């Protein structure tokens, strides 16, 4: 695997953060949804976001992207 550029690493971090934030908001607001069709749609969206987060995490793990040098 080639090394990712700093801008690619930044984009990856931003995508992961965006998906994580959206999923947290979706989970927090899910109990407030009373319409059954809208609730099913929201649940489906949360599942899709969860899959994308897991995919990004897997990519990071498989490609040794997380650097811990200097972390204490």
According to the model, what pLDDT value does residue 71 have? Answer: 45
**Does some domain include residue 23?**
yes
- For 3-70, give the DSSP string: PPPHHHHHHHHHHHHHHHHHHHHHHHHGGG---HHHHHHHHHHHHHHHHHHHHHHHHHHHTT----TT
- Own/partner contacts of 54-61, CB < 8 Å, gap of 24 or more, are 56/12, 56/15, 56/16, 56/19, 57/16, 59/12, 60/12, 60/16
Between 24-28, 43-47, 51-55, 58-62, the lowest mean confidence (pLDDT) is in 58-62
Residue at 22 is within a domain: yes
Give the domain extent around 24. Answer: 8-61
Q: Is the pLDDT of residue 15 over 50?
A: yes
The rounded mean pLDDT for the chain is 90
Instruction: Kindly report, residue by residue over 26-37, the tens digit of the pLDDT.
Output: 999 999 999 999
Q: Is residue 72 part of a domain?
A: no
Whether residue 12 lies inside any domain: the answer is yes
Q: Is residue 53 part of a domain?
A: yes
Domain count, the chain: 1
Would the pTM count as exceeding 0.85?
no
Domain-located, residue 32: yes
């Amino acid at each position: 695997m080639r090394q990712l550029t700093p801008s690619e690493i930044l984009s990856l971090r931003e995508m992961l953060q965006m998906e994580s934030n959206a999923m947290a908001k979706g989970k927090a607001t899910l109990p407030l949804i009373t319409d059954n069709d809208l609730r099913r749609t929201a649940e489906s969206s949360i599942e899709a976001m969860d899959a994308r987060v897991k995919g990004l995490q897997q990519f990071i793990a498989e490609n040794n992207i997380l650097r811990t040098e200097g972390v204490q």
